Amino acid sequence: MRLYGQYRRTLTKEFMMKRIDELRPFVQTTFDTLLDQMIANGAPADFIRDVALPLPSVVISIMLGVPYEDHARLQLLSSNRMRLDISPALLAQSAQEMEQYIDRLLREKEQEPGDGEDLLSRLALEWINPGKLSHADAVQMAVLLYLAGHETTANQIGLGLLSLLQDPQQKAALIAEPSLARGAVEEMLRFHSITHMNSARVATADVMIAGQLIRKGEGVFAPVQAANHDPEAFPEPERFDIRRDTKHASHVAFSFGVHQCLGQPLARLELQVVFETLFKRLPSLWLAAPFEQLEFKCNGNVFGVETLPVAW
């Protein structure tokens, strides 16, 4: 736990609200540019391919100091690492290639960190070069940041939009009251709980939970979607409601306690920019394929929709 705390402190200031909020103009410009391009290409469009996936990919690349021209290859490698239905050999190969890429990039940053204009350069300047953090540990941290920095948010954007397109009343409410966007984002996070296979734990002692004995050493899943759909915490939990009152219960889409997601301010910022802007520019946006034809990502650690055809 002491070592885990040390690693977390290494990155905490990078994800503080003040620093993340400084990224808002860049995130807004990036989203507007992607949306401009999607509109210029014409309908129908795949919102996942054209906007939801590249937005967080651009942002995390710039934030970390990863050349964006390499994002297609890294995106494939990170997608493979999230899947549960690929061969162990391909999984290991994808993990190795990503680590080798980050290893080379980080060594370049250590040699020429400049003024620390990106996160990896600051990591080299403040932690690795002074001997406070090993290069090997920094590589693993950087890989995790890249993985978590775009795959999860991209899927949340797609599912959040799908929920609104499937519910004309909710969409109309958001168009009429743009101030509902932040509450809508929290409801999307609660409703979808996309990291549905990311809660594996091992009991360190015998424990009784709701009449069920879990013995020391047994493996368990503590799925956040179960907590986020608990009727005692959220009345009518299966109803998507952007006006939901969250004063008395908070969702745990980002987990809770010492293990809660470090990057949640960044994810929230990106989601807020998308849903504060999208329907102002495209109020007539609609789902351009029957819901029954959509394919969902049920084969990985993160849930999502493969493609999201839209028109306007």
Neighbours of 188 (CB within 10 A): 25
pLDDT at 247: 65
Q: Which residues contact 240 (CB under 8 A, 6 or more apart)?
A: 163, 167, 170, 187, 191
Give the residue-averaged pLDDT of 140-167.
Answer: 92
Whether 266 has a pLDDT exceeding 90, the answer reads: yes
Under a CB-based contact definition with an 8 Å cutoff, are residues 190 and 297 in contact?
A: no
Residue 25 within any structural domain of the chain: yes
Range of the domain at 7: 2-179+262-311
Residue 305 within any structural domain of the chain: yes
Under a CB-based contact definition with an 8 Å cutoff, are residues 148 and 263 in contact?
A: yes
Give the residue-averaged pLDDT of 220-240.
Answer: 91
Q: In which band, very low, low, confident or very high, does the pLDDT at 63 lie, cut at 50, 70 and 90?
A: very high
pLDDT at 259: 75
Residue 150 within any structural domain of the chain: yes
- Which DSSP string do the residues of 7-66 spell out, in sequence order? HHHHHHGGG-HHHHHTTHHHHHHHHHHHHHHHHHH-SSEEHIIIIITHHHHHHHHHHHT-
Give the residue-averaged pLDDT of 177-192.
Answer: 95
Mean pLDDT, the chain, whole residue set: 91
| Greater pLDDT, 177 or 149 | 177
pLDDT at 248: 62
C-alpha 180/C-alpha 279 separation (Å) is: 12
Residue 107 within any structural domain of the chain: yes
Whether 2 has a pLDDT exceeding 50, the answer reads: no
pLDDT at 3: 45
Tens digits of residue pLDDT in 197-219: 677 889 999 999 889 999 999 99
Residue 169 within any structural domain of the chain: yes
| Greater pLDDT, 70 or 150 | 70
Cα–Cα distance list, 154 to 48, 108, 150, 210, 296 (Å) = 7, 29, 6, 35, 13
Residue 255 within any structural domain of the chain: no
Give the residue-averaged pLDDT of 55-69.
Answer: 93
Give the residue-averaged pLDDT of 220-234.
Answer: 89
Whole-structure pTM value: 0.91
CATH number for position 280: 1.10.630.10
pLDDT at 1: 40
Give pairs for 280-288: CB < 8 Å, separation 24+: 280/175, 280/178, 281/35, 282/35, 282/39, 282/312, 283/175, 284/312, 285/165, 285/310, 285/311, 285/312, 286/165, 286/310, 286/311, 286/312, 287/162, 287/165, 287/166, 288/43, 288/44
Give the residue-averaged pLDDT of 35-59.
Answer: 96
Strand pairing partners for 310?
45, 287
Which amino acid, one-letter code, is at 277? Answer: T
Residue 272 within any structural domain of the chain: yes
- What are the helix (H) ranges across 254-310? 264-281
Whether 32 has a pLDDT exceeding 80, the answer reads: yes
Tens digits of residue pLDDT in 80-89: 888 888 899 9
Domain count of the chain?
1
Whether 194 has a pLDDT exceeding 80, the answer reads: yes
Residue 76 within any structural domain of the chain: yes
